[in-house]
Amino acid sequence: MLAEVDQKLVLACLKMIPQQYISADTSRLTLTLFALGQLDLTKNLKEIEISRANWIDWIYAHQYLTENNQNGGFRGGLFSGHKFDKNGNYKKDEYDLPHIAMTYAALLSLLILGDDLGRVNKTGVINGLKLLQSENGSFKPCEDSREFDLRFVFCACAISYILNDFSGLNVNKVLEFIVKCQAYDYGFAQNLNLESHGGSTYCALASLKLLNKLDLIDKKATLLWLLKRQEDGFRGRINKPPDTCYTFWIGASISMLEGTKFVDTVPLKTFLECCKTKYGGFGKSENCHPDLLHSYMTIAGLSIFGIEEGLDDLNCELNLSKNSFETLKNSCNWNLS
């Protein structure tokens, strides 16, 4: 079994991860998402039942609070130096800000843990989005950043979708920006004029899907670009080597364009088998250490292509299991239709 039912490595990672992960110190909530997401897709969440309530509190401790809800969201870690508070904290100093990708990761992780998002300061989060959109429609991750690109457009769309409120963004400008990011080869680039890229293509398609606007683009040409990324495994860019994470980025994109039936899963499976490590988990390619991101994205890909039985289905545009999507639909008080 590729996805490994007992998820030994992930359970160890949830306990503690090695020092090589310090580069993720400001984005620990993404690690949380990748670890919990694996347990969710492999239907192993019962293993962590004892910690569930504590972990929900721990995630809420990252919440950014403001007096008049003029801003909100989540920090990526507890590195700013607040006293731990399971309700979150107000701004500590000028360097203490919420980050849009971390808000996305927090909301998803909470849903995976079965939380109803009742303690999320919804108004603050939506108002926070308004501070991040640029003139051309793109988004930056936090107020004092200059990194505008498609990744954060996707985060803004996913957050708005989850909270069922798109008033934090100028949707027309978002659409305009996404369409302009499509490169001459029909893949999408992270920003205007850049090279087409599997990750950006996912961000573009998922945003369009969440906005119900996939018809704005040439789907046929985009699908062909995506299918052409397969060698045995998927590659993120033209003439780059395959990498397991693109099983998700490209796979989910293909799925949104209803093209999974065109993919040859036999060589894909062989490639993924080579990238599985003896400790469990997946590295980005053969002979690499396993890491949480690549392990999660491989398992998500196995689910998308139905390569392994017993995995939960994936909602590709949110990057969330069917089971946790049900939590969103049924438990959150703004009921998605």
Partner 1 sequence: MSQTDSSDEEVEFELDFLLYNDIQPTPQDDGPDRMLKDKKIELNFVLFYLNVNVLKNLISKKKKLAVAPIAYPADYKKAMDIFRTITTTNEQSKRTLYLTEFIIRLNPAHYTIWKFRENLVKKGVTEINEELNFTEALGKLHPKSYQIWHHRQWLVNNYIDLILPIQEIEFINRLLKYDTKNYHAWSYRQWLVQKFNLFKLELEETEGFILDDIRNNSAWNQRYFVFKMREEGFQNETDFENEINYCISKIKLAPRNESPWNYIRGIIKLFGKNPAEVKVYVSLCEDYFQKNLPISNALISLLEILENKIKSEKNDDFQSEALQICDKLIDFDYVRRNYWTYRKQLLLDANSH
Residue 284 binds which entry of partner 1, Zn ion, none, CB below 5-8 Å type-dependent: Zn ion
Q: How far is the CB of 51 from partner 1 (least distance, A)?
A: 5
Q: How far is the CB of 311 from partner 1 (least distance, A)?
A: 21
35-46 as b/e, with b when 16 or more CB fall inside 10 Å? bbbbbbbbebbe
Please tell me the distance from the alpha carbon of residue 337 to that of residue 334, in angstroms, as a whole number.
9
Q: How far is the CB of 204 from partner 1 (least distance, A)?
A: 16
CA distances 184 to 8, 10, 49, 189, 225, Å, are 44, 40, 49, 10, 11
Residue 243 binds which entry of partner 1, Zn ion, none, CB below 5-8 Å type-dependent: Zn ion
Residue 245 binds which entry of partner 1, Zn ion, none, CB below 5-8 Å type-dependent: Zn ion
Q: Which helix (H) or strand (E) holds 63?
A: strand 63-65
Please tell me the distance from the alpha carbon of residue 251 to that of residue 261, in angstroms, as a whole number.
11
Q: Of the candidates 295, 302, 300, 336, which has an alpha carbon nearest to the alpha carbon of residue 320?
A: 300
Query: Of 73-81, 122-130, 155-163, 245-253, which part binds partner 1 (CB under 8 A)?
Result: 73-81
Does position 65 interact with partner 1 (CB under 8 A)? The reply is no
What is the DSSP code string of 64-132? EE-TTSSS-EE-SSSTT-PPP-TT-EE--STT----HHHHHHHHHHHHHTT---TTS-HHHHHHHHTTT
Give the residue with the Cβ less far from Zn ion, 115 or 243.
243
Query: Of 25-33, 152-160, 162-170, 306-314, which part binds partner 1 (CB under 8 A)?
Result: 25-33
Does position 94 interact with partner 1 (CB under 8 A)? The reply is yes
Nearest residue to Zn ion on Cβ basis: 245
The residues in 229-258 that bind Zn ion, with binding defined as CB under 5 A, are 243, 245
Please tell me the distance from the alpha carbon of residue 287 to that of residue 292, in angstroms, as a whole number.
16
Does position 284 interact with Zn ion (CB under 5 A)? The reply is yes
Q: Kindly state the number of chain residues that form the binding site for partner 1, as judged by CB under 8 A.
A: 82
Q: How far is the CB of 308 from Zn ion (least distance, A)?
A: 20
Environment class of 130 (CB within 10 Å of its CB; exposed 0-12, middle 13-18, buried 19+) = middle
The residues in 289-328 that bind partner 1, with binding defined as CB under 8 A, are 289, 292
Does position 270 interact with partner 1 (CB under 8 A)? The reply is no
φ and ψ at residue 15, rounded to 5 degrees: -75, -50
Please tell me the distance from the alpha carbon of residue 161 to that of residue 235, in angstroms, as a whole number.
29
The residues in 99-128 that bind partner 1, with binding defined as CB under 8 A, are 109
Residues 6+ apart with CB under 8 A from 93: 80
Query: Of 208-216, 260-268, 315-323, 325-333, which part binds partner 1 (CB under 8 A)?
Result: 260-268
Q: Three-state SS for 1?
A: coil
Q: How far is the CB of 284 from Zn ion (least distance, A)?
A: 4
Does position 288 interact with partner 1 (CB under 8 A)? The reply is no
Binding positions for Zn ion, rule: CB under 5 A:
243, 245, 284
